[in-house]
Amino acid sequence: MKKRWGYCLLLAAACVAPTVLYPVLLMKILCFALFACSFNLLVGYAGLLSFGHAAFFGAAGYVAGYALKSWGVSTEAGLALGTLAGALIGLVMGALAIRRQGIYFTMITLALAQMLYFVFLQAPFAGGEDGLQGIPRGRLFGLVDLSNDLVLYFVILAISVGAFALIMRTIHSPFGEVLCAIRENEPRAISLGYQVDRYKMLAFVLSAALSGLAGAMKAMVLGFETLTDAHWSMSGLVVLMTLVGGLGTLFGPIVGALIIVLLEDKLGDIGNWLASVTGVNWFGTLGDSVTIVTGFIFIVCVLALRKGIVGEILALFKRIETARQREKFPRRRSDHAHQ
């Protein structure tokens, strides 16, 4: 019951958010939130760290952008094509990466994504260093004009909420439970008869498809697509968002995406403020040095904030709850079960 109220509250907050922040910024946050959530599905629940998710994000953006611009398809067709592109690339990448475990898996995803980056760098349709410019938003269902930012915002919100719901449903399904089992003890899962590779593939492709949807949406919202979206630093960024928010938590990636996108947006201002407060002029250039700040946050998170913000909050609740239980039922020493 409490959960339902919580979700309604979130939805209400999302609906009034345009009064506080610009719709375009909000849409950017939503796209990255979806990107991070779909990434989290793979790393937090299936336990597979992919460092190549930019491949899906960028490829979908290029495909959707090209379709919307050069073929003039309707909005939903463009997004669908982007999602499909993500899924297909995910299929190929997953099939190769899954052949190795652990850290090798991660390195393979990174390498394959880099290969795709070079493809986009050289492919004529992608526009090279300039990327795709002037991507139209198209007409939703061929009818609704999306040039109004606010209208587009609610469309994107609806799609995002639908996608989040899909992810949540997946996590709480038997499929999701098997994924968790695979993450915790793969040999055990295999010995129980699960075709582990199939589960991993399905999770991978699903994650890739939804990342593609996020990428396609972003390309459409912002109206351009560049190589940055296919670069390994973008793969790193989505890892950071998920880490900051909380690996393996439902809402962690959303929180993480919110923080990182806002941070990037306001970094110039923060830098100037720091410069005026400390008198160190170098802070003024902080706006150009997003990577330094990103790297710093990475290091701090890995060393001190491993569970992420949402993870730490959940752990705090758990500690409070355990303390409360202990008060109600104090344990006697002889009841301790020893191993």
Partner 1 sequence: MEIFGLPIQALMSQLLLGLVNGSFYAMLSLGLAVIFGLLNVINFAHGTLYMLGAFLAWTGLNYLGIGYWWMLVLAPVVVGLFGVLIEKTMLRWLYKLDHLYGLLLTFGLTLMIEGLFRSVFGVSGQPYPVPDALDGVTNLGFMMLPNYRAWVVAASLVICFSTWFVIEKTRLGSSLRAGTENPKMVEAFGINVPLMVTATYGFGVALAAIAGVLAAPVIQVSPLMGSNVIIVVFAVVVIGGMGSILGSILTGLGLGVIEGLTRVFYPELSATVVFIVMAIVLIVRPAGLFGKEK
Partner 2 sequence: MSSVQERPVAARIHEDVRAADEALSITSLHAWYGESHILHDVNLTVKRGEVVTLLGRNGAGRTTTLRAIMGLVGTRRGSIRIDGEETVSLPTYRIARRGVGYCPEERGIFSSLTTEENLLLPPVVSTKHGSMSLDEIYAMFPNLAERRHSQGTRLSGGEQQMLAVARILRTGARLLLLDEISEGLAPVIVQALARMITMLKARGYTIVMVEQNFRFAAPLADRFYVMEHGQIVESFAAAELDSKAQTLNELLSI
Binding-site ranges for partner 1 (CB under 8 A): 49, 51, 96-97, 99-100, 102-104, 106-108, 110-112, 114-115, 118-119, 122, 232-233, 236, 239, 243, 285, 288-292, 294-299, 301-303, 306
CA 179 to chain centre: 18
For partner 1, which is the closer residue by CB, 17 or 293? 293
Number of H helices, E strands in the chain: 13, 2
For partner 2, which is the closer residue by CB, 90 or 311? 311
- Cβ 338 to partner 2 shortest distance, Å: 5
Place of tokens 């973008």: 234
- Cβ 182 to partner 2 shortest distance, Å: 23
- Cβ 335 to partner 2 shortest distance, Å: 11
- Cβ 169 to partner 1 shortest distance, Å: 27
275 is in the binding site of which of partner 1, partner 2, none (Cβ under 5 to 8 A by kind)? Answer: none
Cβ count near 226 (within 10 Å): 21
11 is in the binding site of which of partner 1, partner 2, none (Cβ under 5 to 8 A by kind)? Answer: none
Position 339 contacts partner 2 (CB under 8 A) = yes
Return phi, psi of residue 140, to 5°.
-70, 125
104 is in the binding site of which of partner 2, partner 1, none (Cβ under 5 to 8 A by kind)? Answer: partner 1
For partner 2, which is the closer residue by CB, 147 or 339? 339
For partner 2, which is the closer residue by CB, 327 or 335? 335
Residue 127, C-beta contacts closer than 8 angstroms, at least 6 positions apart = 133
Longest dimension (CA), the chain: 75
For partner 2, which is the closer residue by CB, 328 or 338? 338
336 is in the binding site of which of partner 1, partner 2, none (Cβ under 5 to 8 A by kind)? Answer: partner 2
Which DSSP string do the residues of 119-140 spell out, in sequence order? HHHH-GGGTTTT-B------EE
The beta strand positions in the chain, using DSSP E, are 139-140, 144-145
115 is in the binding site of which of partner 2, partner 1, none (Cβ under 5 to 8 A by kind)? Answer: partner 1
239 is in the binding site of which of partner 2, partner 1, none (Cβ under 5 to 8 A by kind)? Answer: partner 1
Per-residue binder mask for partner 2 (CB under 8 A), 297-336, x = binder:
---------------------------------------x
Place of tokens 């349709």: 125
Structure tokens at 43: 């790393």
User: Do the beta carbons of residue 181 and residue 199 sit within 8 Å?
Assistant: no
Give, as one character, the DSSP assignment of residue 145. Answer: E
What is the b/e burial string over 119-145, where b = at least 16 CB atoms within 10 angstroms of the residue's CB?
ebeeeeebbeeebbeebbbbbbeeeee
Give, as one character, the DSSP assignment of residue 21. Answer: S
- Cβ 266 to partner 1 shortest distance, Å: 18
Q: Which residues of this protein are in contact with partner 2, per CB under 8 A?
A: 336, 338-339
